[in-house]
């Protein structure tokens, strides 16, 4: 019996396969080294983001609105990488290409949920920088720990609801032609195109979600930096202008690393080769979570000072123990 004939019915009109086949890359020699590289990336991501969260949690100097958002970014980076990389390694490095229908939907939900949180958190960080530079005297009044906690909580709910609606709409679709997903995970776009019944609601949500998750934050971040540029031009002293600009460099690097590959891939659409699309999207998913803690550690003065204090404290503690 053909695997596609092994199906179950959710209702009279909806047919689901027992499993999907994740195809991954097509005809690329030595592709297993890419998955070994992904293991290394995941290990660095795990250590880096755990370290960032540990430093923010333990150092009271970092208990500020900005670092609440940075903590949220590190958490979403860590969880997003965990949702993406270990299943990808299991699928391709250990030749386990089959995934059950329910597991596929769960994988889809968590990958897109944490990507959404990463995108929203970058927008929150741009809001923080905009207020700090454009309204420095009112910063502590406008951006408070409570307000950032409320904003991030709303964004968690918004991201969860948006992705959940997309996943639930997938359950309405019948898959009676193919069960092969041409991606490196249970990607919503390739999956809904396999449907053989009316998939209009899924097509609509597949268009709306990127608009809300990617394009709206990009427009918001662009707007904040236009305001920042205007405020910087009003600063007469060059040294003060450069000092204010330096507070934005780490965030600008994070924004570029996260958004540019996604927007280029989405902008090229079907013109891009399948393998190129898969490798670009997979790198976009796994590299920013690894790079974010490195960038913040190297580029943020408060964080560097916090690391130095921790080092000195541990050095003193070891000296006292040795005596």
Cβ–Cβ < 8 Å for 168, 194 = no
> 269: phi > 0 → left, psi -120 to 50 → alpha, else beta; which?
left
Hey, what are 60's tokens? 């009271």
Task: Indicate if the alpha-carbon torsion angle 274, 275, 281, 284 is positive or negative.
Answer: negative
Q: Considering the domain 3-322, what is its CATH architecture? A: Up-down Bundle (1.20)
Domain ranges, ordered by start, for the chain: 3-322
Residue from 223, 196, 71, 173 nearest 188 by CA: 173
- Which residue bears the tokens 């958190």? 121
pLDDT in the model for residue 188: 82
pLDDT in the model for residue 8: 40
Say if residue 51 is exposed, middle or buried (CB neighbours under 10 Å; 0-12, 13-18, 19+).
middle
- Which residue bears the tokens 């540019």? 260
DSSP state, residue 173: -
Cβ–Cβ < 8 Å for 137, 231 = no
* Other Cβ atoms within 10 Å of 26 Cβ, number: 11
Cβ–Cβ < 8 Å for 191, 170 = yes
Hey, what are 198's tokens? 């009316």
Whole-number Cα distances in Å, 131 to 171, 218, 281: 43, 17, 32
Say if residue 129 is exposed, middle or buried (CB neighbours under 10 Å; 0-12, 13-18, 19+).
buried
Hey, what are 190's tokens? 């390739």
The Cα–Cα gap between 182 and 185 comes to 8
Q: What are phi and psi of 303, to 5 degrees?
A: -70, -40
pLDDT in the model for residue 46: 94
Cβ–Cβ < 8 Å for 178, 4 = yes
For residue 235, the surrounding DSSP H or E stretch is none
Predicted confidence pLDDT, tens digits, the chain (323 residues): 344 444 444 444 677 888 888 887 777 777 888 888 999 999 999 999 999 999 889 888 888 898 999 999 999 999 999 999 998 888 887 777 888 989 999 999 999 999 999 999 999 999 999 999 999 889 999 999 999 999 999 999 999 999 999 888 888 888 877 888 888 888 887 888 888 876 677 778 778 888 888 889 999 999 999 999 998 888 878 888 888 788 788 888 888 888 888 777 776 666 677 777 788 888 888 888 998 888 877 677 777 788 878 777 766 656 666 66
């Amino acid at each position: 019996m053909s695997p596609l004939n092994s199906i179950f019915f959710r209702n009279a009109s909806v047919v689901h396969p027992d499993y999907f086949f994740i195809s991954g890359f097509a005809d690329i020699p030595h592709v297993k080294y890419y998955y070994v590289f992904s293991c290394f990336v995941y290990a660095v991501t795990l250590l880096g983001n755990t370290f960032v969260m540990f430093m923010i949690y333990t150092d009271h100097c970092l208990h500020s609105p900005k670092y609440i958002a940075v903590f949220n970014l590190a958490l979403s980076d860590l969880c997003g990488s965990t949702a993406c990389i270990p299943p990808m390694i299991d699928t391709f490095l250990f030749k386990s290409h089959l995934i059950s229908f329910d597991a596929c939907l769960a994988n889809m939900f968590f990958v897109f949920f944490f990507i959404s949180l990463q995108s929203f958190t970058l927008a929150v960080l741009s809001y923080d920088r905009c207020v700090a530079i454009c309204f420095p005297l009112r910063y502590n009044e406008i951006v408070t720990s409570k307000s950032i906690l409320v904003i991030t909580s709303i964004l968690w709910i918004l991201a969860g609801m948006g992705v959940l609606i997309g996943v639930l709409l997938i359950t309405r679709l019948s898959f009676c032609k193919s069960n092969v997903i041409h991606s490196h995970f249970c990607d919503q776009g390739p999956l809904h195109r396999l449907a053989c019944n009316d998939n209009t609601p899924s097509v609509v949500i597949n268009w709306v979600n990127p608009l809300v998750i990617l394009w709206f934050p990009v427009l918001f971040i662009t707007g904040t930096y236009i305001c920042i540029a205007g405020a910087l031009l009003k600063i007469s002293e060059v040294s003060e202008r450069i000092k204010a600009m330096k507070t934005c460099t780490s965030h600008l690097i994070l924004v570029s690393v996260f958004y540019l590959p996604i927007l280029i891939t989405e902008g090229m659409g079907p013109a891009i080769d399948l393998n190129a699309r898969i490798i670009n999207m997979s790198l976009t998913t796994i590299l920013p979570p690894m790079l974010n803690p490195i960038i913040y550690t190297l580029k943020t003065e408060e964080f560097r000072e916090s690391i130095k204090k921790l080092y000195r404290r541990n050095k003193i503690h070891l000296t006292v123990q040795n005596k």
